[in-house]
Structure 1
Amino acid sequence: MLILDTQTLIIVVSFIYFLVGAMTFFAAVNSQHGEVLRLAAFSAILGGCAFLLGLKTTNGRYWGELAVWFSNPMLIVSTALLLSSVRVYTGKRPRWNWVLIAPIVWIGLCFWEPFISDVNLRVILFSAIIAIYSFAMINTLLKYQIKDIWKMAPMYFVLSVHGLFYLLRILLQDTTYNFSTPLSLSVTAMEEAFFIVVFNYSLLLMVHKRTEKAFQQAALQDELTRIPNRRAFFEDAKKLLQSSNHAGNPVAALMCDLDHFKLINDEFGHEHGNQVLILFANTLKAAVPNHGIYARIGGEEFALLIEQTSASFPLEVAQSICQRFHALSHTNLGKLSVSIGVAFSTDVGYDIDSLLSKADDALYHAKRNGRNHVQTWPLPDR
C-alpha cells in the first residue's frame, strides 16, 4: 500500500503554488490585463505561504492551532483574490469586503473553544466558504459571456470540480470519515495543486484570447473614428457580395467625400478636422442600416455597401447622410457637407472594385456640380 508523506506533499504543493504565482506575475508584466493576472499571482503566492504555515500541523498542538488561526484564513483570502481577478476580467471592480469578511469571521470564531476543538466544524465552514467562492466565480463568468460558454470550458470545468470537491467534504461530515488523517490531507493538497495550475492556465488562456481579439479588432478599425478601416471594409464587402450574388439580391456601393475638408484643416487646424471626421463617422453609424457595411477608407473618404431592399433605398440612405451631416453645420465645427456617389450591382455587377470605381466617378461628378448632394451612376449625358 502506498503511504503518502503528507509533509513532503505539502512542500511540493507549496512549491507549485509559488511557481504558478511567479509565472503568472511574470505574465502580468506589460500585459493589457495586468490587474487580472496580478490578483491571480498574489492569490497563488498567498496560497503557497498558507500551505507552508500549515506544514507542522501534525507536529504538535501549538502549530496545529497556528494553522487554524492563520493558514486557513490565508487560503480563504487566496480564493477570494481569484474571485476578484475573475470580476476584473469581466469588467467589474473587486469587492474587497468579500475578500476580508470571511477570514475575519474565521479568526473571530477561533476565540470560541468549541470551534477550535471540533475539526469537523472547521472543515464544514472552510469547505462552504471555498465552495461559495467557486460557484460565485462561475456565476460571474456566466453573466459575462453566456453566449460563448464553450470558450471558457476549461475554467468552468476546474471551478466546478473545485466547488463540488468541497461540497463533498461537507457531505462526508455525517459519516465516520476522518478529515485529519494523512490520506485526507494529501487528497486535499493534491486537489488544491490541480486547481491552482488549471485555474491560472485557463485564466492565461482567456487573457491571451482576449488580447489576440483586441489586436485583430485594432487591425480592422480606424484609430481616429473607431469605425472599420479599408481592410475591414474589403473583407466584409467580399462576404456580402458573395452572399447577395448567390441569393440574387442587388446591392449598392456609396462613396462619400467630405466637402472642402482641406480648407477646414487649413483654416481651423488638424484637431478641428479630426473632430469633423469623427462627427461624420457617427453620422454613418446612425444612418446606415444593420444589413449594410461602412468604413473610412482613407483621408476624408468613406465607403458604404448596402443591400438594395428597394429601388430607392440606397438613395434614401445617401440623402439621409447628406441631410444629417449638413444639419450639424450650426455647431462650432463650421459649415459641413458631403458629396456622395452611388453605383448599383444591377448596372456594374458584384465586383467590389468595379462598384467603388463607378461610385467614385459619380462622386466627383457631384463635386463638380455644386457638392452637398447625391449622384448615381451611370452619369447623365452631357
Structure 2
Amino acid sequence: MKLLDPFSVVLMAALMCAVMSAVLFGARRGFPAEVRGLTYWGAALAVQVFSAFCFALRGTLPDVLVLPVANVLFVFGNGLCVIGLRRFYGLAPRWPMLGGACGFALVGMLYYLVVEPDYAARVAWMSVPITLISGAQLVLVLRHGRRKLATLFFGSLIAVNTVLVTVRGVVALTHGAALVDVTRPGLFQGFYLAVTALQPALLAVGFLMVAYERLRLILERRSASDPLTGVLNRRGFGDAYAREVARMARMRQHARTLALLSVDLDHFKMINDRFGHAEGDRVLVSVAQMVGSALRESDVLARFGGEEFIVLLPDTDGKRAIGVAQRVQRLLREAHAGELPSCTASIGVAVQTDPEEPLDALLSRADEALYRAKENGRNRIETWQAAA
C-alpha cells in the first residue's frame, strides 16, 4: 500500500520551508541585537527549499547530477541551523566542521552513485553527518538552554530527529534498501517521509519559541534596569525586595534581618555644572561599578534617579551594614584619581527586622539617616535611630 507520494511530500516540505524562512527573516527585524541566530535559521530553511527542489528533479535529470547537490545542500542547511544555534547561545560558529560535513556527504554520494552504486549505503553514509549535526544541536540545547517549556519542546523535536535519522541509517545497514527506500510503499518509509516533511518547519517554530522566550527575558530585564548604569531601577528593586522579604518571612524563626543603604553623591550638581552632563553620566556609571564591587552576590544595587543609589543587604545587621558603607566610601575616595572628577557620598543606614514593614517605611528611615549625614557635613555615614 502506498501511503505517501514522495514527490508531493518533497514539494510540501519545500513550501513549508519557504514560508518559515520568510517568517524568520521577517521576525529578525523585531528582535534586539542580543537575540542572534535568526538569520542563519532563515538561510538554513531557504537552502532546504533548494535541496527539496533538487530531490524533486529526480527522474527529470540524471541522479548523478541532482542527488549529490541535493544531499550536500541538505547537510549544509542542517549545519546552518547549528551555526544559528551557536550564535544564539553566544558561541562562535564552526565553519570548518560544516565544510567537512558537506565534503563528507559529497564524497560518499559520488562514490555510491558512480563507483559502487548502492542506495542503502548512500542512506547509511548520509545518516552520519545528519546525525552528528542533529546531535550537536541537542547538546547545545541541553547545555545552554533554559529549563523552560519552549526549550523542552525544541529539544524534544531535535531528539526525535536525531533518533529517526540514526535508526534509518542502522536499518539501511542491517536490512538494505527495502525498508529505507522512500520510493517504495511501506509503513516506515511513510512515517519517515511525513516526519521529514514536517520536521524543518517544526524545528523553526521551536527555535522561534526559544527566541521569543529570550526576548521576553530581555524586555523584563530592561524594564527593571536603569539604562545608564545597568543596575536595577525602582521597579526592579521593588521586585528584588519583595523576594527577599518573602524569604525573610519564611525563615522568621531564625530572626533574620536586612539592611538598606541610601547612598547619595555629595555636590553632584557641581560636577554636572563644571564638567558637563556627559562627564556626570560617566561618574554615575563608575560609581555604580564601584559600589557593586563592594557588595556580595546576594546584595542588591539600584539607582533611584539622579545621584541616589540604594543598596539592599540581606542577612545583615547594622554593624556589618556600616562596614559595607565604609568600604563604599573608601572606594570612592581611591577611585577617581585624575581620570574622572572626584566625588564623595553621604550614606544613610536602616535595618529591618520585621518582614511586615513596608518598603516605603524602610526607605523613609534610610532617607532620614541620609538627611542627617548631609546636615552633619556630608561624606558621612549615619544610622537611623528611633526618636527618644
One of 180, 189, 195 as aligned partner of 2:193: 189
One of 222, 228, 234 as aligned partner of 1:224: 228
Match of 1:233 in 2: 237
Range with greater deviation from structure 2 (197-206 or 167-176): 167-176
| Counterpart amino acid of residue 262 in structure 2 | M
**Partner-residue secondary structure (3-state), 2:93:** coil
**Retained in 2: the 8 A contact 1:86–1:140?**
yes
Q: How far off is 1:310 after superposition?
A: 4.2
**Partner-residue secondary structure (3-state), 1:330:** coil
Match of 2:314 in 1: 307
For residues 182 and 259 of structure 1, the distance between their equivalents in structure 2, rounded to whole angstroms, comes to 82
For residues 169 and 107 of structure 2, the distance between their equivalents in structure 1, rounded to whole angstroms, comes to 21
| Counterpart amino acid of residue 201 in structure 1 | V
After superposition, give the CA deviation of every residue in 1:43-95 in whole Å (9 maximum; x if it has no partner). 112112212211142x37x4322232211111111111111111111111222
**Retained in 1: the 8 A contact 2:258–2:317?**
no
For residues 22 and 87 of structure 2, the distance between their equivalents in structure 1, rounded to whole angstroms, comes to 20
User: Which runs of no fewer than 5 residues in structure 2 stay unpaired?
Assistant: none
2:80 matches 1:81: yes
Match of 1:355 in 2: 362
After superposition, give the CA deviation of every residue in 1:225-255 in whole Å (9 maximum; x if it has no partner). 1111111112222332343245132222211
Q: How far off is 1:151 after superposition?
A: 4.9
**Partner-residue secondary structure (3-state), 2:226:** coil
Pairing 1:138-153 to 2, within 5 Å after superposition: 138-145=138-145, 148=147, 151-153=150-152
Match of 1:48 in 2: 49
Cα separation, partners in 2 of 1:67 and 1:342, compared to 1, 3 Å: same
Range with greater deviation from structure 2 (135-144 or 218-227): 135-144
| Counterpart amino acid of residue 85 in structure 2 | V
For residues 275 and 351 of structure 1, the distance between their equivalents in structure 2, rounded to whole angstroms, comes to 33
**Retained in 2: the 8 A contact 1:115–1:121?**
no
After superposition, give the CA deviation of every residue in 1:17-55 in whole Å (9 maximum; x if it has no partner). 222222222222342267512211121121122122111
After superposition, give the CA deviation of every residue in 1:79-137 in whole Å (9 maximum; x if it has no partner). 11111111111111222223322223333445546656111111111111111100011
Match of 1:373 in 2: 380
**Partner-residue secondary structure (3-state), 1:54:** helix
**Retained in 1: the 8 A contact 2:300–2:313?**
yes
For residues 242 and 35 of structure 1, the distance between their equivalents in structure 2, rounded to whole angstroms, comes to 36
Q: How far off is 1:308 after superposition?
A: 4.8
For residues 347 and 201 of structure 1, the distance between their equivalents in structure 2, rounded to whole angstroms, comes to 48
**Partner-residue secondary structure (3-state), 1:228:** coil
Cα separation, partners in 2 of 1:337 and 1:115, compared to 1, 3 Å: farther
**Retained in 2: the 8 A contact 1:17–1:193?**
no
Range with greater deviation from structure 2 (326-335 or 266-275): 326-335
Cα separation, partners in 2 of 1:274 and 1:120, compared to 1, 3 Å: same
Q: How far off is 1:311 after superposition?
A: 4.6
Pairing 1:98-137 to 2, within 5 Å after superposition: 98-112=97-111, 115=115, 117-137=117-137
For residues 115 and 156 of structure 2, the distance between their equivalents in structure 1, rounded to whole angstroms, comes to 33
Range with greater deviation from structure 2 (6-15 or 273-282): 6-15
Match of 1:337 in 2: 344
Match of 1:39 in 2: 40
TM-score when normalising by structure 2: 0.89
User: Which runs of no fewer than 5 residues in structure 1 stay unpaired?
Assistant: none
**Partner-residue secondary structure (3-state), 1:175:** helix
After superposition, give the CA deviation of every residue in 1:233-282 in whole Å (9 maximum; x if it has no partner). 12222332343245132222211110110001111111111111111111
**Retained in 2: the 8 A contact 1:251–1:308?**
yes
Match of 2:5 in 1: 5
Q: How far off is 1:302 after superposition?
A: 0.9
**Retained in 2: the 8 A contact 1:115–1:122?**
no
For residues 384 and 317 of structure 2, the distance between their equivalents in structure 1, rounded to whole angstroms, comes to 17
Cα separation, partners in 2 of 1:214 and 1:82, compared to 1, 3 Å: same
Identity over aligned pairs, percent: 25
**Partner-residue secondary structure (3-state), 1:48:** helix
Cα separation, partners in 2 of 1:315 and 1:220, compared to 1, 3 Å: same
Range with greater deviation from structure 2 (306-315 or 48-57): 306-315
**Retained in 1: the 8 A contact 2:14–2:49?**
yes
| Counterpart amino acid of residue 81 in structure 2 | L
For residues 253 and 342 of structure 1, the distance between their equivalents in structure 2, rounded to whole angstroms, comes to 6
After superposition, give the CA deviation of every residue in 1:296-328 in whole Å (9 maximum; x if it has no partner). 001000112223544511111111111111222
For residues 137 and 306 of structure 1, the distance between their equivalents in structure 2, rounded to whole angstroms, comes to 41
Match of 1:169 in 2: 168
**Partner-residue secondary structure (3-state), 1:191:** helix
**Partner-residue secondary structure (3-state), 1:312:** helix
**Retained in 1: the 8 A contact 2:263–2:308?**
yes
For residues 96 and 282 of structure 2, the distance between their equivalents in structure 1, rounded to whole angstroms, comes to 43
| Counterpart amino acid of residue 123 in structure 1 | V
**Retained in 1: the 8 A contact 2:318–2:349?**
no
| Counterpart amino acid of residue 206 in structure 1 | V
One of 319, 331, 344 as aligned partner of 2:326: 319
For residues 155 and 243 of structure 2, the distance between their equivalents in structure 1, rounded to whole angstroms, comes to 34
**Partner-residue secondary structure (3-state), 2:377:** coil
